[in-house]
Structure 1
Amino acid sequence: MQIPRRLLPPIHALHAFEAAARTGSISNAARELDLTQSAVSRQIKALEDQLGLELFVRDKQTIRLTLAGQSYARDIREALRRVSTASLNIRANPSGGSLTLGILPTFGTRWLAQRLPRFALHCPGIHLNLFSRMTPFDFNLDSIDAAIHFGKPEWPDATFTPLFGESVLPVGAPELVTRYSFKSPEDIRQAPLLILLSRPDAWERWLARQGERDDDIRGMMFDHFEMVIRAARSGLGLALMPTFLIEEELTAGQLVPAFAQAQPSPEKYYLVSPAERGHYAPLVAFRDWLVAEAAVVS
């Protein structure tokens, strides 16, 4: 649906409003924008006239946002940020083909990053932007085209492309595993346990799948897989790790299994994208390439 032009304020008026809202001052906004105070005031007044409501309460020489102004400022700030990001992307890649991807940090550094040179050769015209975060991205708030997600395909108004599952293995430094000489899954309670904040019940679930009681699990908390791996390597405790993320440590003997059999996780890794981006050409190319790469793991 085409938006009526009368509902689209001039960009300079939006910049004036956003600067005044952020700084809380017409004079500060004027200095930031290299305009006169009267010019900023006129632009904001014209914006209010176009919208048919007041965005600021004016009291002598001070201003403060109305309730409507507070809500509008948040939305306009995000809209201007998106315009800025789009402009930077097109300058970095004038031929188009920009793709912005949200990734899980350790998945990105330990699995995806080493494969990206192959994608660059496969699709040299596509410019990738990568942003990492442990918590889920919000497609309504974050300027991304797709995200790597681990868990279940439960994301509103999104398309899920399955990549691969994972198997988890209790591992620790050789000295620690030798010291505790684990005989049964229940024995892990004797050792210090390392727990990932985004998977707080991982040890309980692992014990339950072994047919053991799954209560009273305590351990040291970490917010990042990479920190858990380094802590386990240093002998700080036993970690429950996806095997594909610790291949180098296992091969080098820096980490060794407490039990030989890896346990499949019920969740999977997915490439998730907003439903309306499904036919975006750079996303389609990346999705096809990623699925082919993931098939090797599967």
Structure 2
Amino acid sequence: MSNSIPPLNPLRTFEAAARLSSLTQAAEELNVSQVAVSRQVKVLEEYLGVVLFKRLHRGIELTDEGRQLYEGVTRAFVEIGNAARRVSRRGRRDILAIQSYTTFSQRWLIPRLTQFHEAFPRIEVRLSSSTAPVDFETQNLDAAIRAGKANWPDLHSEKLVDVELIPICSPAFQEAHKLRCPDDLSRVRLLHSMARPTDWAAWLKRVGSTVDPSPGIRFESSALAYEAASLDIGVAIATKVFVKRHLQAGSFVAPFDMTCYSGEGYYLTWPKSIAPSLPLQKFLSWMREQIDKDEVSSS
């Protein structure tokens, strides 16, 4: 056997059969006959001089050699796909595809995007929103903003902000209910985010309150809970950085001068297997500058 790369068509067929553990399903995915799949696998086995699959009664199973090859082929195909996407994007324009949470986008990122476009007019940001974990192998994304404790072993993670929790309500609500201490929350309606279901319990525990955090109204996102608070419906538990401008402007008030850190943060993440593109590097540097400005204005 030479040191050249094995034939690509048999490699592609092998990858599909190994991933699906089925010659029949591989044939359906590749839109060829099962006989053609078997033939391509046989070509690869003869080229390598090893058996790649054990033929079982109800399907196929990788041999040790087949498993080693599959791991390498999978990594190579992912890298080829990533390189193709990068080249394709750069051939058209500087596109930066970012996935974020609705609340982070609405309350922090979108109000600042005009400044980013003024600084980098050739970079087109494509912003999507989801609370589901991102899959960089199947989604056409450069990076994603995620909340947590950075325990994502396959991702680079650059911390943007810590999650600092603070209760908020409208000025009219505070005037009507005269909230003076955390235990006064037992008299009012708590507004919860289903995306961050433990925030109220964490804050109440940290400040030593015995108020039951369970009752109240639950919203799909923190952004909706904040909107409900602005309409005098109750008290929301907020991530401070998302409501800082509204607190300064007086459209929200914090009934208690008590905050707590959840131990989580918001991070900009991207796969370790991919070097960050130049647009992503510029975006990360710009976000750091914005966060530094926020910290200076708070001090």
Q: For this structure pair, what is the TM-score category when the shorter chain's length is used for normalisation? A: 0.5 to 0.7
Q: Distance in 2 between matches of 1:218 and 1:102?
A: 31
CA-to-partner distance for each residue in 1:209-259, whole Å, 9 max, x for gaps?
54x335743145555323433444566542111344346876998x74360
- Checking the alignment, whether the CA contact within 8 Å between 2:94 and 2:123 is kept in structure 1 is yes
The answer as to 2:55 corresponding to 1:57 is yes
Aligned to 2:10: 13
Q: Distance in 1 between matches of 2:43 and 2:211?
A: 63
Aligned to 1:46: 43
CA-to-partner distance for each residue in 1:78-102, whole Å, 9 max, x for gaps?
8656644543443232178665545
The answer as to 2:200 corresponding to 1:203 is yes
Q: Distance in 1 between matches of 2:248 and 2:28?
A: 59
Structure-2 change in CA distance of 1:48 and 1:161 (3 Å): same
Unaligned 5+ runs, structure 2: none
Aligned to 1:288: 285
Q: Distance in 2 between matches of 1:28 and 1:159?
A: 34
In the alignment, which of 199, 209, 232 is matched to residue 213 of structure 1?
209
Q: Distance in 1 between matches of 2:284 and 2:12?
A: 37
Amino acid at match of 1:40: V
Q: State the SS of the aligned residue for 2:91.
A: coil
Q: Distance in 1 between matches of 2:3 and 2:100?
A: 37
- Checking the alignment, whether the CA contact within 8 Å between 1:193 and 1:237 is kept in structure 2 is yes
- Checking the alignment, whether the CA contact within 8 Å between 1:197 and 1:222 is kept in structure 2 is yes
How far is the alpha carbon of 1:186 from its aligned partner? 0.8
Structure-2 change in CA distance of 1:222 and 1:66 (3 Å): farther
Structure-2 change in CA distance of 1:203 and 1:74 (3 Å): farther
Structure-2 change in CA distance of 1:237 and 1:22 (3 Å): farther
Aligned length: 289
Unaligned 5+ runs, structure 1: none
Q: Normalization by structure 2: what TM-score? A: 0.66
Q: Distance in 1 between matches of 2:126 and 2:80?
A: 15
- Checking the alignment, whether the CA contact within 8 Å between 1:205 and 1:214 is kept in structure 2 is no
Identity of aligned residues (%): 29
How far is the alpha carbon of 1:156 from its aligned partner? 5.0
Stretch deviating more after TM superposition (154-163 or 31-40): 154-163
Q: Distance in 2 between matches of 1:70 and 1:215?
A: 55
- Checking the alignment, whether the CA contact within 8 Å between 2:169 and 2:255 is kept in structure 1 is no
Q: Distance in 2 between matches of 1:17 and 1:147?
A: 32
CA-to-partner distance for each residue in 1:252-292, whole Å, 9 max, x for gaps?
98x74360646363655444566786776444322222212
Structure-2 change in CA distance of 1:121 and 1:234 (3 Å): closer
Structure-2 change in CA distance of 1:34 and 1:177 (3 Å): same
- Checking the alignment, whether the CA contact within 8 Å between 2:204 and 2:211 is kept in structure 1 is no
Structure-2 change in CA distance of 1:161 and 1:70 (3 Å): closer
In the alignment, which of 179, 185, 210 is matched to residue 182 of structure 2?
185
- Checking the alignment, whether the CA contact within 8 Å between 2:186 and 2:211 is kept in structure 1 is no
Q: Distance in 1 between matches of 2:128 and 2:50?
A: 38
Q: Normalization by structure 1: what TM-score? A: 0.66
Aligned to 2:166: 169
Amino acid at match of 2:119: H
